Amino acid sequence: MKKYFFSLLILITGILGLAGGQPANAEEKVYQIGTDLTFPPFEFQNDQKEYVGIDIDLLTAIAKDQDFKFELRPLGFDSAIQGVQSDQLDGMIAGMSITEERQQSFDFSAPYFDSGISMAVQKDNTSIKSYDDLKGQTVAVKVGTESAAFAEKNQEKYGFDVKTYDAADTMYQVLENGSVAAIFGDYPVLGYAISQGQPLKLVGEKEVGSAYGFAVKKGQNQELLAKFDKGLAKLKADGTYDEILAKYIDSGQTDTASEMKKITPKKTVYTIASDLTFAPFEYQNDKGEYVGIDVDLLKRIAELQGFELKFNFVGFASAVQAVESGQADAMIAGMTITDERKKSFDFSDSYFDSGIQLAVKKDNKKIKSYQDLQGKVVGAKVGTESADFLAAHEDEYGYKIKYYDAANDLYDSLRIGQIDAMMDDYPVIGYAIKNGQDLATPIKRETGGQYGFAVKKGQNAELVEMFNEGLKELRRTGEYDKIVGRYIAENNEEKADESTFMGILKNNYPTLLKGLWTTILLTLISFVLALIVGVIFGLFSVAPNRALRTIAGVYVDIIRGIPLMVLAFFIFYGLPGILGFTIPDFTAGIITLTLNASAYIAEIVRGGINAVPVGQMEASRSLGLSYTRTMQKIILPQAVRIMVPSFVNQFVISLKDTTIISAIGVIELLQTGKIIVARTLQSSSVYLIIAVMYLILITALTKLAKLLEKKV
C-alpha cells in the first residue's frame, strides 16, 4: 500500500512541477511591450510598414541575446504608459526619460541612451558658432520639451528671443525660410533629420539631457528588467549598440536616403489649389496659418524634391475649376480618385485610403444599423462620396437625405436635432470626436476611395512624379505616419475641452481678444483716414469750382457703386498685378475700408453743409467775408453739429464692415471665429461668443460717441 502511495505522491509532485515550474513558464511567456507611434529615430514605420528605430532594434537584439519573446504594441506614448500601469503591458520602450516622478510608478533599466540638447542652424550659416552669436536673434523650440525649458532659462543670458512650435517639421521650415536663426532640439532627433536631408548642421557642444530607460510597472516583471540590463551590457561590449545608433543618427542613412529619385522641376514656383476648410486635411489653425495632412505632406515633399509652392485655398469646387482653367498647376484637397475624374485629371499614387461612416448623437441608442434609419433624415455634404452612398441606398433603407454645403452646418444640424444622423469621411468624423464633438459611430465604416494629388490631364507630369517620389520617401522614413498621426491619431492629446461653451471660451479667449484688437485697429485707423479723405471730398462737392464738384461726384459714385467685397478683392488681388508689388492683407483692408467710408462721409459732409440755410452764406459774403472765411467761421461750426450723429452711425457701420475684410485673409474677429469653427465644428457657441463681443464693443463705442456728441 505504501508503495502505491509514494508512487502516486511522486506522480502528483512531477505534474505540479511541470505545471508550476518557473523555468517552463518563463520560456513560454510572450512579453507585451508598448511603444510610441512615431518618434524617429527611436520608433517609426518603414516603407514595409514595419516598426524600426533605435528602441525597436535594441529591444529586438536584446531579446535575441537573452532568449525571450515579445510582441510590440505601438500605442502611442501616453497609451503605453497607461497600458503598463493597468497591467495590459509588461513593459514599454519609447524614448522615455528617467525622472524622479516617473520612478514612483515605474522601475527603469540602466539608461540605454543619454539624450541631450543641441543647437542647429542652416547648413550654409557661418555666422553662428556659439550661443554668444545669438544675441538679438530668434530661436525656435518645440513646446513642452527639455529644449524649450533650456532656451527659456538662457534667453536673458545670451540675449535671444524664443518662439515655440507644436511640431518639429514646423521648426525646420521656419529655420529654412529665415524666420528664426537657430533651433534647439534633442540631438538624436536633429541628427536623424539631417540624415534624412534636412539642410541643417549642429553647432556647439551637446547639453547634457535626460537618460532614456526601458520601464516596467514598479515591483513587477523584474526578470524582464534584469534581462534587458544584461543584454544591453553585452550589446555595448560587442559594439552592436554603437552600430544601431550609427544606423539612425550618423551618416549611415545617407545611402538609403539617396534611394529617392530627384526629379528636375520645370517651373520655379508651382501654384497649388486646395479647399478652404476640410479638417484634418486643410484648415486654419489659431494663428491663421493653413495646416493639415494635405498641407504638411505637400510642403514636406516640396522640400525633399526641391521645388517651391504657392498655395491658394479657394474651396474644393473652385480648386477644380482653377486646375481645369490653368490658373493652378495642381490641387490637393482630399480629392477621391475616380474613373470620372481621371477623364480630366492625372492623379498621383494614393496618399490616403479614406472611408465613409455614419454618425449619430452620442446619446442616441436607437440607431444601430442602416435599417434603423427608416423614416429618419440623414445629412451629407453635397458632392461627396457620402452623399453618393446615401443616394444609392435611399430607397433600400427608407430615409430622407438633407444636403449641406459646409461641414460645420452638417454637424450643427445633427447637434440641434434637425437631422437624425449624418455621413462623412471617417477621418473627418474622427477628428471631430477627438476635438469634443458628442458623436457616436454605431455602424462599421464603409470602404471608401483613395485620395490623390491631381494635375490637369496631360500637363505637369513632372509634378506628379515629384509627388510620388517624395511620398515614397516619407513613407520609408516614417514621416508620413507622423504627419497623419499628428491630425488623426494624436489629436486626443488636446488638453482643453472644446465641447462646451465655457470650454471654447476658456481655450480660445486669447485668440478671440487678438481678433477683437485687429477689428478695433482696422476700424480706428480706417475711420480716421476716411474722415480726412471724406471731409476733403465733401468740401469739394460744395465748392464754387465746378471741376472740384465734378471730381468729388465721380469719386463718390465710383466708390459707392462698387460692393465692398469686390473693392477688397480688387485692391488685394487686382492692384498688385497693375502696380507690380504685393499689398499686405491688413494694409489692403485699411485701404478698402478707408475708401468705402470716405465716400459716405463725403456725402454726410455735403448734406450737413447744405442743411445750413443758404441765406447765411449770402449774408456773410455780403458783409465782405471770403468764401473760405465764411465756411470756417459760420457754415462749418453749424454743419458739424448736424453731421456728428451721422459720423457716429458711419463709425458703427465701418466697424461692422470689418467682417467683410476677412474675405481677403485678415484675421479679424469674424475670421478668428471661422478658424475656431473649422477646428472645433462648434459654430453655434463660437458665433454666439463673437456676436456678444461685437454687441459689447459697438454699444460701448456708441455710448462714447454720444458723450462726444453732447460735448460738441
Start-to-end CA distance of the chain, whole Å, equals: 124
How high does pLDDT run on average in the chain? 81
Q: How far apart are CA 671 and CA 422, in angstroms?
A: 27
Q: Over range 593-602, report the average pLDDT.
A: 89
Q: How far apart are CA 450 and CA 139, in angstroms?
A: 39
- Would you state the pLDDT for residue 23? 42
- Would you state the pLDDT for residue 499? 57
Q: Are strands 330-331 and 269-274 parallel, antiparallel or unpaired?
A: parallel
- Would you state the pLDDT for residue 151? 87
Q: Over range 583-596, report the average pLDDT.
A: 86
Helix residue spans in 494-570 (DSSP H): 501-541, 546-561, 564-569
What is the DSSP-derived secondary structure letter of residue 162? E
pLDDT-derived band at 299 (thresholds 50, 70, 90) equals: very high
Q: Over range 506-516, report the average pLDDT.
A: 79
**Report field, pTM of the whole predicted structure over 0.75:** no
Q: Where are the beta strands (DSSP E) in 55-105?
A: 69-74, 91-92
**For residue 260, is pLDDT > 70?**
yes
Residue pair 125/201 in contact by the 8 Å Cβ criterion: yes
Dump pLDDT digits (tens) for 446-465. Answer: 877 788 999 999 999 999 99
- Cell match 496659418: residue? 289
Query: Among 554, 516, 556, 512, which residue's Cα sits nearest to residue 533?
Result: 556
pLDDT-derived band at 143 (thresholds 50, 70, 90) equals: low
- Would you state the pLDDT for residue 379? 92
| Helix %, strand %, coil % of the chain (to 5) | 55, 20, 25
The residues pairing with 43 across neighbouring beta strands, listed in sequence order, are 39
- Would you state the pLDDT for residue 498? 56
pLDDT-derived band at 428 (thresholds 50, 70, 90) equals: confident
Residue pair 163/138 in contact by the 8 Å Cβ criterion: yes
The residues pairing with 108 across neighbouring beta strands, listed in sequence order, are 215
- Cell match 557661418: residue? 126
What is the DSSP-derived secondary structure letter of residue 119? E
Dump pLDDT digits (tens) for 648-685. Answer: 888 888 888 888 887 776 778 887 777 677 556 566 77
Please report the domains of the chain, with CATH numbers, ordered by start residue: 30-113+215-247 (3.40.190.10), 116-209 (3.40.190.10), 255-493 (3.40.190.10), 501-710 (1.10.3720.10)
Q: How far apart are CA 35 and CA 247, in angstroms?
A: 20
- Would you state the pLDDT for residue 3? 43
The residues pairing with 30 across neighbouring beta strands, listed in sequence order, are 69
Q: How far apart are CA 431 and CA 334, in angstroms?
A: 14
Residue pair 502/567 in contact by the 8 Å Cβ criterion: no
- Would you state the pLDDT for residue 680? 63
Q: How far apart are CA 41 and CA 54, in angstroms?
A: 6
Write the DSSP string, 568-601: HHIIIIIHHHHHSS---HHHHHHHHHHHHHHHHH
Query: Among 329, 362, 376, 336, which residue's Cα sits nearest to residue 432?
Result: 362
